Chains A and B, each alone.
Chain A
Amino acid sequence: MRTNVSDAMRGALGNLLTRRISHPVSESDIRRWALAVYWPEKPPRVFVDAAHAPEEFNPFAWAVAASESTGKATSDANAADRTEQLAGVPGPGLQFQLNGGMESEYGTPIRPGDVITSENRLESYSEREGRLGLMLFTVTADTWTNQDGAVVKRTRSTLIRY
């Protein structure tokens, strides 16, 4: 049976992909995020005042204060093999990738001044034939905590590659 999942890839399950620490979240970060998401309408007052961030806010966009991985990725953040590069093994060599879906559980809201730590791990692989050929489904599990150690968010993401 044809497969894109090598023994090395299976052996990498559970590996740390990235451990990232954000810069302190600013009021402007929160405000700009909400302005973009709610455009062309104005966002709710709670976000204009930056009392707390929207649940789906990304404090790691553009830059992080610190980052480490099991492996070393190339500079191309859009490379289809990036997951395996970070996991420290050769990737499947596929060309295209799509966001397949996400599931998040929310805890403590993100507020201005918070420093968020993310630990993202490779959880599982599966494959099935689809319209675009043999499709590789990769699930990663990401846990975010704030500077007090409180859980902010747990997210499982599915990457589809072909």
Chain B
Amino acid sequence: MTQQISVAPTVGEELPPFVRETGFAAWNRYAAVNDEFVPIHMDDEAGRAAGYPTAFGMGNLQWSYLHVLVREWVAGRGRIARLSCQFRNPNLKGQTVTARGVVSAVNEDDGVISAELKIWTETQDGTVLAPGTATVVFE
């Protein structure tokens, strides 16, 4: 008898965190592929002129980190159907940013299992940078 391995997640399950350091090394690489050489992401003076202590990283890179978080948890079991986030705080230089998530709901509709995730990025002191949600459909 072949045992059916369940792919269904469980409510409360935590996604393995994705951790990265902030700074020009990561931001410049991302700028290079996304053509995002904007002064506030490149220069501390520009960041200060915009009202922040230093240059700060692209929201789009936080967006990518949240996608990485969900993809690594899905691990080939399904696909990301939807993802959203809000950029509440800037990711300043010299910080540790961790992308985290937790399963908030599991649904089954016509035999298709989907999961709702609460996801976010945060700094080393727990400040939330980009809270969001995602929907994963298992296939």
A residues touching B (Cβ–Cβ < 8 Å)? 32-33, 35-39, 44, 54-56, 58, 61-62, 78, 96, 98-106, 131-132, 158
Contacts and interface: CB of A to CB of B under 8 A. Distances in A.
A104 B87 contact: no
Interface in B3-18: none
A131 B52 CA distance: 11
B33 A36 contact: yes
22 contacts: A32-B33, A33-B33, A36-B32, A37-B30, A37-B33, A37-B64, A38-B68, A44-B72, A54-B64, A54-B67, A55-B67, A58-B33, A78-B38, A78-B39, A96-B50, A101-B59, A101-B130, A102-B63, A102-B85, A103-B82, A106-B79, A131-B51
Chain A at the B interface: SS class = mixed
Contacts of B60: 56, 99
Interface in B38-73: 38-39, 50-51, 58-61, 63-65, 67-68, 71-72
A95 B81 CA distance: 36
A143 to B, nearest CB: 15
Contacts of A105: 81-82
Contacts of A44: 71-72
A109 B132 CA distance: 22
A96 B56 CA distance: 14
B104 interface: no
B83 A104 contact: yes
A39 B29 contact: yes
A54 to B, nearest CB: 6
Contact of B51 (A99, A106, A132): A132
A106 B64 contact: no
B84 A102 contact: yes
Contacts of B86: 100-101, 158
A38 to B, nearest CB: 7
